[in-house]
A and B are shown apart, each in its own frame.
Chain A
Amino acid sequence: MNQARLRASPFFLEDEIMRRRKELMVGFLLILPALTVLVTLYVYPLVLSIYMSFVAQGRFSLANYLKVFEIYWRDIIYSVAISLVATAVTLGLSIGVSGYLRFKSWKFLEIMYKLPLFIPFLIVGHAMRVFLAPHGTLNNLLTRILRIEELPGLSRSWIGLVWAFVWVMTPYAALIVLGAFRSLDNAYIEAARNLGASRWKIVFDVLIPMCRPSIMVAFILTFVRTISSLTIPIMVGPASPNMITVNMMFRVNYFNDWGTANALGVISYLIVMVFAIYYLKFMAAERGGIKA
């Protein structure tokens, strides 16, 4: 019996290895479709765009980046600034809406804040440019109420641009934030209330600190979607300075210059990456904290 087992064991081991291999193969086959999609639609274009950003006039060079810094450095700063301002206002608004809806139910607001979700960027861009134009809907109304002859229009200015961004981004951010606020156990809020905290104190001292990861997600998603938007800056933004995306389009459409367009693209990846890395680090710390 013992001997038989000894004799069988090498075979057993081999079987085990075969079985493991087979499992690995199956596992690999299972992720293969997803992997293929990821590689062909994400990794390959990414690598290609980084590569193309270093090719100018058929040669490997830094010329595209030099051009970017010569012509577009101001636009890069402008894009980051606009995105940060728009994101900050968006977060402020969505925290306000979520804070309110966490305590009180108001069907009207519940529906209204989600409405812009279903309107495409292009339509928003066009609506805003008519609404905010010097003789647009808003100013026509204001001039009648205030009885002032001419008012400056907000479209084609950075304020109009931020306005339009906030309008489209707030529902997404508010959905995330409100979800987090609502999933928080009532016990915390009741405890704070028992100690006499006002509603806004609860929002700032309990809800926001405890939902920080979700708020961070909302922040990063809003920022990325803002800085990568093309339609709204084209339709509402000022003629100069421009967002990075507008310059990319210009480079491709007017000069057929994919090198500089890709260099601008790579710079926007880098900007987004700064936030992504911060977020990942933050999340890791957060998880570590919970474990400890």
Chain B
Amino acid sequence: MRKLCGVVVLIIAAVLLAQAGIPIKVTLTMMVAGDQNMVDFFQYEIAPEFEKLYPNVKVKVVGTGPGDAGSQQIIQQLQLEKDSGKDKWAIDLVVIHEAGAIWAIERGLIRQYTDFLTTRRLVTMKTAEVALGVNVNGYVMPMFHSQTAIAYNPRFVKNPPKSYAELVEWVKKNPKKFGYNGIKGGMSGVSFVFGWVYWKSKNPDVLMNGPFDEKYMEDWPQIYAELKEFNKYVTLTSGNAGTLDALNRGEIWMGPVWVDMFYTWIREGRMDPNIRLILPEPGMPGQPMYFAIPTKAANADYALKMIELVTSPAVHAKYIVDRFNWYPAIGIEYVSPYLSKEVFDRLYRDIKEEELLKFGKRMPIADYRTRMLEAYEKWVEK
């Protein structure tokens, strides 16, 4: 009898031990700020890859919409989780903008994790350490970099202006042939305005890195008055897509665009492939998107694996660069072995990497950013 009991206990123990080895079902919940293409990227490209690698994991992607408002929604959700006092939060991974990362760090909503990330060492851009003038080192891993630039149609523009100063001369000779979307129709127009202020300001570095002080805004009325004068010679288009459309129809010959959107349109045959890009001196802003892990994420280990996957050179090359035309978050030397020459040339044909590092500016810090937009409303739109 006793023997039998011992055998039964052994069997039960063995079964239990075996059970422990079987991975339990996990749902990896991620919230993604940004346009629909970001949600599609995770839902249809990355989630299937990840689920193939980890069959016990189901990836759930929630999109919260473009702009800082999208990041803001994610922060609100995380704050709710924090306020509930739970030990395990329902959100495992977030993808946020620079401003969102700062808000989240201030409120203790995301954790330091990048020391555990092997791909963190491949990052060459400064944005992994500083966002809008705030130290974010350790909390975030860039997912990609997106950049604005000026597109031009070589059929009409043989020698494109290479700087903002030359552009001002150019629009006077070619009135209404430069177009941008103001500040209410999307970030490509906003970036053009930020670039304008950087160009004219005496302290562009302060605007990008801080500190915030109203004394650095003293020259703004003059800067915006000149922008208003410039606007007399340009066409105002409707939205990021509106600028691309107008370029495509030949209504305008030049205009600021997002590089990734521009190449995606060309790849999909929605854009004249002869149109080229130039990044004018002294530069236009771009921005990264960040991966971050909530402080008490229930499945932080899988979140880390997800980040590792997306930022690994092979996946980065295939999806971030080739499929979605973003600039890589990790150094191009690690990605290029996985890129065909054609893809590499497509992304770096017009804007070389050195130009990108030199003229690719940051967005202004949050306090200046708000005031720059409001200044445009007050002084230019009137």
Given A153-B251, A253-B69, A254-B67, verify A235-B238 contact (CB < 8 Å). Answer: yes
Binds A, one of B54-62, B149-157, B181-189, B338-346: B181-189
In angstroms, Cα B273 to Cα A48, docked, is 50
Q: How far is the CB of B86 from the nearest CB of chain A, in Å?
A: 26
The residues of A that contact B382 with a CB separation of less than 8 Å are: 74
For chain B residues 247-263, which have a beta carbon within 8 Å of chain A?
A: 249-251
- A156 and B237 contacting across the interface, CB-CB below 8 Å: yes
Looking at B190, B242, B370, the one whose CB has the most chain A CB atoms below 10 A away is B242
In the complex, A44 has a CB within 8 A of chain B: no
User: Which residues of the partner chain A approach B374 to less than 8 Å between Cβ atoms?
Assistant: 71, 255
A240 touches which of B68, B236, B370 (Cβ 8 Å): B236
- Give the A interface residue count (CB, 8 A): 30
Of A71, A239, A254, which one neighbours B68 at CB under 8 angstroms?
A: A254
Q: Mark A130-157, 1 if CB is under 8 A from B, else 0.
A: 1001111000000000000000010110
Of the candidates B190, B250, B381, B382, the one having the most CB atoms from chain A within 10 angstroms of its own CB is B381
From A155, A246, A253, residue with most partner B Cβ within 10 Å: A253
Number of A-B contacts (CB under 8 A): 70
Report how far A74 CA is from B382 CA in the complex, Å.
Answer: 8
Nearest residue, chain A, Cβ from B182: A239
Q: List B residues 44-98 near A (Cβ within 8 Å).
A: 66-69, 72
Residues of A150-172 whose CB lies within 8 A of B: 153, 155-156
A135 to chain B, nearest CB (A): 4
Give 12 A-B pairs besides A133-B245, A237-B238 with Cβ atoms closer than 8 angstroms.
Answer: A134-B249, A156-B238, A235-B239, A239-B182, A239-B236, A239-B238, A241-B381, A247-B184, A253-B66, A253-B69, A254-B370, A256-B72
State the A residues within 8 Å of B (CB): 70-71, 74, 129-130, 133-136, 153, 155-156, 234-242, 246-247, 249-250, 252-256
Q: Are A71 and B67 in contact, CB atoms less than 8 angstroms apart?
A: no
CB neighbours (8 Å) of A256 from chain B are: 68-69, 72
Chain A residues positioned under 8 Å from B237 (CB to CB): 156, 239
CB of B2 closer than 8 Å to a CB of A: no
Q: How far is the CA of A231 from the CA of B12 in the complex (A)?
A: 64
